[in-house]
Amino acid sequence: MSDGEPGPRPHGADSSRPRPHGADSSRPRPQYGEYASPEEQRARIQQPAPEWQQPVTPAAPVVAEAADAGIPSTKPAPEAQPAGDVLSRRRMIDRVVTISLLVYGLFNVVTSFPSFLDYGAYAETMFAVLGLDVTLSDPAAGRPWGIAAAVVLAIGWIATALVSLWSLRRGRLTWWIPLAAGILFTLVTGVLMAVPLMSDPAVVKALLGATGG
């Protein structure tokens, strides 16, 4: 073999064999075999082609996924007012209203005593309010009724105060007790104080004359 003749080609190197699709034509052929194309390289490493890669979607918030799955969220919830504080506030308001009504009732009892014990003065006040020009036939007959009304009013207030305090200590709603008791005992004492007036003939005659009867 002369120096000008080309030497024998290595086994497997065939220049006439076409290059694989996608092979880099600028690179010289390897001595053995061929360079793997990008498709073959990806197939060997089991990597999907760029055009087949699924787009990456942003992950949903963890809080929403946890809520959908029924898992409690770790995100701190808005701070709610404790139920104990609300209950304590309601009890405090109820206590203040109840005590205020009891104080008003006591003031009413104390200021009513003088007029109840002096039935003659009470009758004159009622005649002035009704616009009647009349006097009692027997002013002394109404005194026992005035005393009875004062006693009923005092006992009613004491009983109302005891029941209200008992209810407050049990933590129950109490404001309605002195309110209802005040209305009840005011009606009872009003009836007691009206008995002597309705029993006096002169007063009945004046009332009938004022109404046109």
Structure confidence at residue 12 (pLDDT): 47
Among 184, 192, 149, which Cα is nearest to 163's? Answer: 184
Q: What is the spatial distance between Cα 71 and Cα 142, in angstroms, rounded to a whole number? A: 79
pLDDT attached to residue 179: 97
pTM for the full predicted model: 0.59
Contacts of 128 (CB under 8 A, 6+ apart): none
101 within 8 A of 175, measured Cβ to Cβ: yes
Based on DSSP, count helices (H) and strands (E) in the chain, helices before strands.
7, 0
Contact 128, 162 (CB under 8 A): no
In degrees rounded to 5, what are phi and psi of residue 177? -65, -55
Task: Please state, in angstroms and rounded to a whole number, the distance separating the CA atoms of residues 109 and 100.
Answer: 14
**In this structure, are residues 158 and 105 in contact, taking their beta carbons and an 8 Å threshold?**
no
Residue-by-residue pLDDT tens, the chain, 213 positions: 444 444 555 444 455 555 555 555 565 655 555 556 667 666 666 655 555 555 556 554 544 444 455 555 555 555 655 666 777 899 999 999 999 999 999 999 999 999 999 999 999 999 999 888 888 888 888 999 999 999 999 999 999 999 999 999 999 999 999 999 999 999 999 999 999 999 999 899 888 887 765
Q: How far is C-alpha 27 from the chain's CA centre?
A: 80
